[in-house]
Structure 1
Amino acid sequence: MRLSLIAKLSIASSIVLLITMGLFAYINVEQLQKLLFEEAITDADKLGETIVRTTHYNMLENNRRRAYQVIDEVGSQRAIIERIRMINKYGLITHSTDHKEIGLYLDKKAEACNMCHSGPSPLVHATSMNRSRFFHNREGKLVLGIAKAIYNEERCFTASCHFHPKEAKVLGVLDVIVSLDSMHQKVYTYRNEIIILTFFQICLISLCLTFFTQRLVNKPVRRLVRHAHLIGSGELEARVAITSHDELGELGNAFNDMTASLKRARIELEDWGKNLEAKVDERTQQIKQMQAQLVHSEKLASLGELVAGIAHEINNPLTGILVFASLLANDSKLDPSLKGDLDLIVKETQRCAKIVKGLLDFSRESIPQKKPSAVNAIMDATLTLVCHQSCFHDVTVIKEYNPDIPEMLLDPHQIEQVFINLLLNACHAIAGPGEIRIKTGISKENHSAYIAISDTGCGIPEENLSKIFDPFFTTKENKGTGLGLSVSYGIIEGHGGRIEVQSTVGVGTTFTVWLPFINPDDQESPPDQSSPQPDNG
């Protein structure tokens, strides 16, 4: 059986109250009984003193009959006084309200005597507590007895009727025995009142505890339990009503904060779940690009080793063919009909030599000779070299330089070679009137500088975009070797950068070269600018 919190608190508090009130009642009853006993002894002692003084004159007049009448009249109050008796110094009961014991002798060890005769010599003076005794009468009731000594005063031993010697100290004892029924009745009544009061106090306190526990503890706890169940079922909109600023109120606030945090976390998880597919696709594309770059780099490395050997083997015989063909073409003895054939041999041999030179340049891993260089200055020098070529006559070059690009550690000759290849490719793609836009800038987020070369040419088909950096890939018929972009790719990669391309057929192409700053944290922080957007005319 499951007990509620209120029941447990009520039972526990009732037990504590019962024990506390029981102990308190027991101590109170004991103290009351002790006080009533002391009061009874005092009253009995005063009664004995009153009887002695009342009968003193009659005894001096030797009017014992009158003295005994006074004792009998006092002893007639049976509800209070059990017995009154006079005992002389020899232990003889000279008078008693119980006439049956008149004339009897008492032993010194009797209850009425042993208080004074307990030692080797009798006590002359004793306190009321030492002279009192509690015992049970013939009916089994508890009674109080107190002995009052009758001293031999001067009037006693000088009276004519008395024969007590002057040396006698005590003439006798007045023994008063009183009933304790009224005292016991008071104790019982008080005890019953204490029990009833304790019961009502326990009931009242239990009711108060139940009421306040229900209001201050049980209701808030039930609200918290209900709220916990709602949270468990996914109801994160629920809130605990705060009705106090105590510990339970703080706990309610903590529950509300926890619910709000759970709601935020669930919203974030839902958003993350919704965007997970897009993020996975994005990361997959990044991985594919990285894999493509790795494959391309491995392809270039392997192909470089292969073409280096082939180029060296072909270069020597090709040089001999070119030399002897040139000599024969210039020989005056040569038949004029063979002159055209020899010129064709020389032209094609020179073309082969150019291809071999490109192969050697592609395979040769030249270490960049870096020095502080300005990207804008290198681009201007490159334009000076190529702008006089015939393909640039109808092309407009637009320069959008960022003057805040700091100097970087570059090999200016290699970077110039990359710019030449990109500008010539752009010019060949236009093949007539058009526009080349050159834009430079920096990206604080990437800690890099960029150079974007955009043309308004024919564009590159999408299926060829993944192949343009492969060696020997070219779309030019009888023009070029297909090694320019491959060599440029290797140079930029050697500088820790990258080349990106965006192209639309019929609109144009944009090549973007990214070159990282060396130790960007030590450089003067350049102004933040956005990445270039392809300008395809």
Structure 2
Amino acid sequence: MAGKIYSFRHSLLTKVILTVSLTLFACISVWSYFNTHFQKRTIMENMVDGAVSLSDTIRLATHYAMLHNSRDDIRHITRNVGRQRDVERIRVYDKSGTIQFSSHSTEEGQTTNIKAEACDVCHKTEPPNIRVPLDERTRIFTATSGSRMLGVLTPIYNEPTCSGPPCHFHPPDKEVLGALDVVISLQDMDENLRSFEMHSFAIAAFAFLFTTYLVLIFVVRFVREPIRKLIDGTRLIARGERIPMEDVDEADEMGQLVTAINRMGREIREQQDELNRQRDEYQNLFENVPCQITVQDRNFRLIQYNREFEERFAPAPGDFCYHAYKNRDSKCENCPVEGTFRDGLPRYSEECGLNKDGSPAHWIVHTQPIRNDRGEVVAAMEMCLDITPRKLLEEKLEESERKYHAIFNQIPNPVFVLDDATLDILDCNQSVEPVYGYTCNEIKGTSFLDLFTGGDLEEIKKTLRRGGTINRTGHIAKSGQHILVDVMVAASEYSDRKVLLAITRDMTKRLATEQQLIQASKMATLGEMSTGVAHELNQPLSVLRTISGFFMRKLRNKEPIDEQTFIQMAQGVDENVERAAKIIEHMREFGYKSDLKLEKVHINQVIEKAFSIFDQQFKVRNIDVVWDLGENLPPILAEPNRLEQVVINLLINARDAVEERREKEPDHPGPDQVLLSTIYEKGKVTITVEDTGSGFPSAISGKLFEPFFTTKEVGKGTGLGLSISYGIVKDYRGDIRAERGDSGGARFVIAFSAADKDSDVPDWS
């Protein structure tokens, strides 16, 4: 009996029928409940609407009789309507609660309690409510007979016809004259609802039982019986027998499932054969795998091993692993197999020893536990992979890394390894400390941008990340000293991550040397300008001598000097003294040592100021100067004194080139000219200095700006003018190039970016 109960409880048929029945019962119950609830609500709403319509009909029917105070007509209307089947009672109240008219004649003239159920709707507040919603004027109550009643109270308002003609009975300030109370019996409606509920329950019960019966027949016929056949078939498969197919309908899913299980039985037998074949194949792979594999028991005795192990170590039957591997008499101190037996986890290690021939050997050991069906570790598999070539290569690599690390530290320039994303300093060489004062540990982890002083950091970030060069930028050392460096950046890899290599070169001493060289060049230029300066000073001195001679002659002869002549002579003295002072001041300013403090400079003013020194020299040498200076040129960022030196160097070269052509080609028909022009195009201010001299061979165009390179005769040039001019132009972020002019002479073109009118002047020092 207990077995049958257990079989019934765990039967698929019981589970399916119970699940379907409960689901169907819940659905039908919910449907019946909401359907009955909806019908009740709908019928009740219809009854209320009917009662309200009836009340409005009575009120309208009695309106005319009330205007003419025809009480008999009102009484007949009330009683006739009250005879209808469902109408229980009709009453007309005045404001004091007296029943003026009723469908029951015995109630007329009776006075009800003003707080009674019907009247309390309006009189529950003081003063009484004038306008009351329909839901508050509607009430359901149980009569003494036990039947439910529906009452609707309708106020009778004082309309204009009631206070005016033809009535004139009620004063205009009285809003409510009384109330009409209609009571309707709900007995028939309640009986109909009870009948509807019983029919709904009957239909629901029939649908539940009938559907459950159909599901039961379906499950028994199409599920339980085929499943039983499937269970019998699987038992046959377990014994390796064939499933009988004669009583299976293969057209339906169950028949197809039985066929599939039978096919599965055949495939299982085929797969068993395949497994046997694969076992032999895997055994063959185990024997021939190119690494040493052993299986060991808890005493580290070799249970099984492959051919590779046997050929390499030649173990004796029943040998121990430590003796076979390393010719030891006891196990290794850190034995991975022992760890695997202890906690059942795989182990990795790296071992070394000697081959049979005495050569060094290295291998990686990987152990794996072998468990029985109860999960107990009964053996351990040890696989050894020979890494002797890789180990030797690693040793060479370590040696190479030590060598290159030594080279890295011995680079004379500071080298920083920067994070590609954050620009933080990951590493640096030992040359950083002599230049910046920081040790490698002190500066690691800080931002490379912290070393910069001034400049646009966002632009510096972009330049560093795309890899480039930043010339003569300001850095700050640990001591607070400001230094000028060139920064060269290149992408690289460091510890398997993308980095930037930043190499800085301290330019502070070099720039000081360059400044001294520039100053020496200025002095040499002043020497070359001495003839022109002497001529420039000779003119005002001659004027002063003439005026002084005039005054001396007048004074010796004791001749009077009229006032007008004296004033003119004095003005002449003042003007020529001022002219000489300006020449001397210009020479003094030009001779000053410049720094790299930038300002907005108008290039035309620099050219005119530089040429003023050579004006007389060009006139004396009969060299014409052609001017073509652009108007309203925007300023550039430069230092006027150094920029003037560039223009002077180019004017000296142009002057010498024209004179050199005269000496070499005295019959040359062309004009002796120097062309000076400026122009503003595409955001660039361009200066062009072109001469009609003999020019230069195209083969040496790349060497013109090299230090100490000159095309002049020995003793006539130092070879520093163009080199210094090139450095000055580059300091101001400009470009300078030399090319052959249209007349065959040399043409030098200098281009600077125009300065933004609203931008601040950067400090590149």
| Larger gyration radius, structure 1 or structure 2 | 1
More strand by share: 2
The TM-score, its normalising length taken from structure 2, stands at: 0.32
More helix by share: 1
Tell me: higher relative CO, structure 1 or 2? Use CA pairs within 8 A at least 6 residues apart.
1
